[in-house]
Amino acid sequence: MNQAPCPRCALPFQEDLCPACRLDPPPFVETLAPFIYSPPLNKALQDLKYRNKIHLVREISKLWKRALPFQLSPDLWVCPVPLHRRRLLKRGFNQSQLLATQIFGAQKVKELLIRERHTKPQVTLTYRERLKNVRGAFRAQNASFIRGKKILLFDDIFTTGATLKECARVLLKAGAEEVRVAVIARAE
Ligand SMILES: [Zn+2]
């Protein structure tokens, strides 16, 4: 297979825009996803998240940087997808924030979103239900910083994109000029 991923959502093996992006273009202009969510990386991401293996942040970040020689332009700021504070308390860390900081450096990472609503786990939900589940779950903070900025929204996994679309929508509504997405892995 030599077909490239969809430039908007990184769905693998597309000729150009995938059918979903053609039908309903996401609010972000592109998705950087150097890996497919499959073994052994999916195991590493689960170990990091659910088994507290924080040392994997360094390993996974190294893989990301090696796979994707990507230079952050000086006018691009990185915003990790936030956890709700209840989940943050339970887990003790936000894996997306740790990974973004390791990859891009703390000075480029800005926490511009707050997760206000504790949402149900998305795993068992359909795409439509996921969209509904996250609708209104995020709020922009530091709006004066966001205005006119280019933002790279960062998460560990891109599954259906429902969360990333909602976050991008909120950032654009708060005045961001443009939103891109970067993740470690894209689920097929
Ligand atoms: Zn797409």
What are the pLDDT digits (tens) for 26-62? 999 999 999 999 999 999 999 999 999 999 999 999 9
Residue 158 lies in a domain: yes
Q: What is the pLDDT of residue 69?
A: 77
DSSP code of residue 26: -
Query: In this prediction, what percent of the chain has a pLDDT beyond 70?
Result: 99
What percentage of the chain reaches a pLDDT higher than 90? 83
Q: Answer whether residue 132 is part of any domain.
A: yes
Residue 40's domain comprises: 27-186
pLDDT category of residue 2 using cuts at 50, 70 and 90: low
Residue 51 Cα to ligand 1 middle (Å): 31
Ligand 1 center to residue 176 CA distance, Å? 22
Q: Which residue has the higher pLDDT, 74 or 3?
A: 74
| CA distance linking residue 92 with residue 85, whole number of Å | 10
Mean pLDDT rounded to a whole number for the chain:
94
Asked whether 122 and 130 are in contact (CB, 8 A), the reply is yes
**Residue 120's pLDDT band (boundaries 50, 70, 90)?**
confident
Whether residue 143 lies inside any domain: the answer is yes
pLDDT tens column, 122-150: 878 888 898 898 999 999 999 999 999 99
- Closest by CA to 80, choosing from 113, 55, 31, 49, is 113
What confidence category does residue 1 fall into, taking pLDDT thresholds of 50, 70 and 90?
A: very low
Any residues with CB less than 8 A from the CB of 37 and at least 6 apart, and which? 45, 157, 159, 185, 186, 187, 188
With a CB cutoff of 8 Å and minimum separation 6, the contacts of 120 are 133
How many structural domains are present in the chain? 1
Is residue 148 situated within a structural domain? yes
How far apart are the C-alpha atoms of 150 and 72, rounded to whole Å? 11
Q: Is residue 173 domain-resident?
A: yes
pLDDT at 108 over 70: yes
Of the candidates 183, 179, 173, the one whose C-alpha atom is nearest the C-alpha of residue 76 is 179
Tell me whether residue 10 is in a domain: no
Q: Is residue 119's pLDDT more than 90?
A: no
* CA 89–ligand 1 middle distance (angstroms): 34
pLDDT confidence of residue 188: 86
Residue 40 lies in a domain: yes
State the Rg of the chain over Cα: 16
CATH number at 80 reads: 3.40.50
The pTM of the full predicted model, rounded to 2 decimals, is 0.94
Best CA proximity match to 180, nearest among 4, 8, 5: 8
CB neighbourhood size of 7 (10 A): 16
CA of 133 to the centre of ligand 1 (A): 21
pLDDT at site 19: 94
77 Cα: distance to centroid of ligand 1 (angstroms)? 23
Dihedrals φ, ψ of 3, to 5°? -75, 145
pLDDT band at 17 (very low <50, low <70, confident <90, very high): very high
Name residues whose C-beta falls within 8 Å of residue 186's C-beta, 6 or more positions apart in sequence.
5, 9, 10, 11, 12, 31, 33, 35, 36, 37, 157, 158
Q: How many CB atoms lie within 10 A of CB 80?
A: 25
58 falls within a domain = yes
